[in-house]
Amino acid sequence: MSISSLNRASFFQPSSSISQLKPAAAPAQGGVGASAQQPRNDLRRMFMADSFEAGPSRLGGASGDFQKQLSEVVAQLTQLVKMLQTQSPAALGQGAEGAASAVGGVGGAAPAQQAAPTAEGAAPASSADAPAHPTYNSDAGPGFGPPSAGSTEPAPANAPWLAKNNVGSPYNSNMQLIDESQKGQFKYTNTFTNKTNEPQTLTLWNKTGENGNPNDGQNFDKSTPKTFTLQPGQSQVVAFDSNTSVAWCASKDGTAKPGANSGQTWGEATFANSGTGWSGFDTSQISPAGHNGKMSITNEATGKTVTEANAWQTEKDDPALHDVGVPAGPLNLRTEIG
């Protein structure tokens, strides 16, 4: 049973405010600036300018004038070749590039820039590292999809569990699996660790369903959860955007299908509710009966821990004994399975 379905704590109340989306900054221009294309001397300017643009007067009214101009051009070319021959190989390459650019000004295409070589031992950048969806400037960290529509619309006063919360656009882009080294870039995280001697598959879902209905994310025939498998002793950090409300469970058989999570201890958390700014977490074993599995969730900043031993067991349990509210600000959780 989701935390929000019972209005277990005040930090789940939504509001109608959200930070406005900001367009992503325009990418930096390439290394070749406009100044690099400017003529460097009279000869290059001559090549880059089409003489017919100036009309007949540019060519001269008589063949003698034309021959004189042609002789001057040949003399300047000869002088340029001699100068290039006396320069170092690096300078010669630059000069040759300049000459090629000059010819390109007449009608040829400038040569394409070569990509910088990858440093020895360094892995090339992978396009898979970049999000495959639009992102926005979230205060919770980089790479999240824009907030989902209606995520901050206030729920009815008498039914705060109907808050939709943010699920990202597209769905599930409000949470990211990240490397441990990236943890400092994000405001809200949960580090999952497998303490058992068997592989454990974590199933992590938004409380709000893919269809936009509150508390429908747990129905995997309607909504797609995130899953990842941890080997014994392995950890995985997940980062969350603001106004996110999620739940998770673990299974050693890797099951993630409708009804598969009902027999497991659940972990639940909300990060930066849009109405109050508060966050919170708990464990749950509410009916249907048969929940099992050891799980502990700890606030890394305070050491406050909840486990399956002090989890929600019935809907009449006192929230003060089971929900852990966290004032507005960063929240880094640590969840251990087993």
What pLDDT was estimated at residue 144? 98
Computed from CA positions of residues 206, 212, 215, 216, in that sequence, does the dihedral angle turn out positive or negative?
Answer: negative
What is d(CA 132, CA 129) in angstroms, rounded to the nearest whole number? 9
In CATH, which superfamily holds the domain spanning 4-19+138-337?
Thaumatin (2.60.110.10)
What pLDDT was estimated at residue 234? 98
CA distances from 59 to 67, 74, 102, 315 (A): 10, 16, 20, 95
Neighbouring CB atoms inside 10 A of 240's CB total 30
What is d(CA 269, CA 290) in angstroms, rounded to the nearest whole number? 22
Place of tokens 């808050």: 163
Q: Are 143 and 173 in contact (CB under 8 A)?
A: no
Kindly report the backbone phi and psi dihedral angles of residue 288, in degrees, each rounded to the nearest multiple of 5, phi listed first.
Answer: -70, 150
What pLDDT was estimated at residue 59? 42
Q: Are 227 and 260 in contact (CB under 8 A)?
A: no
Domain ranges for the chain, please list them. Answer: 4-19+138-337, 42-106
Region of residue 44 (left: phi > 0; alpha: psi -120 to 50; beta: else): alpha
What pLDDT was estimated at residue 233? 97
Q: Considering the entire predicted model, what is its pTM?
A: 0.63
| Opening angle at CA 21, ends 19 and 22, nearest 5 | 120
Show contacts of 21-27: CB within 8 Å, 24+ apart. Answer: 21/136, 21/137, 21/146, 21/147, 22/136, 22/137, 24/135, 24/136, 24/137
CA distances from 99 to 93, 95, 102, 103, 156 (A): 10, 6, 5, 6, 73
- Chunk the chain into consecutive blocks of 10 residues (it has 338) and report each block's average pLDDT, rounded to whole numbers: 40 34 38 40 38 38 52 66 57 39 34 36 39 93 96 82 91 98 98 95 94 90 92 97 95 64 85 93 76 91 94 82 93 97
Q: Are 281 and 12 in contact (CB under 8 A)?
A: no
What pLDDT was estimated at residue 244? 97
**Residue 169: half-sphere exposure toward Cβ, Cα within 13 Å:** 11
User: How distant is the alpha carbon of residue 244 from its chain centre?
Assistant: 16
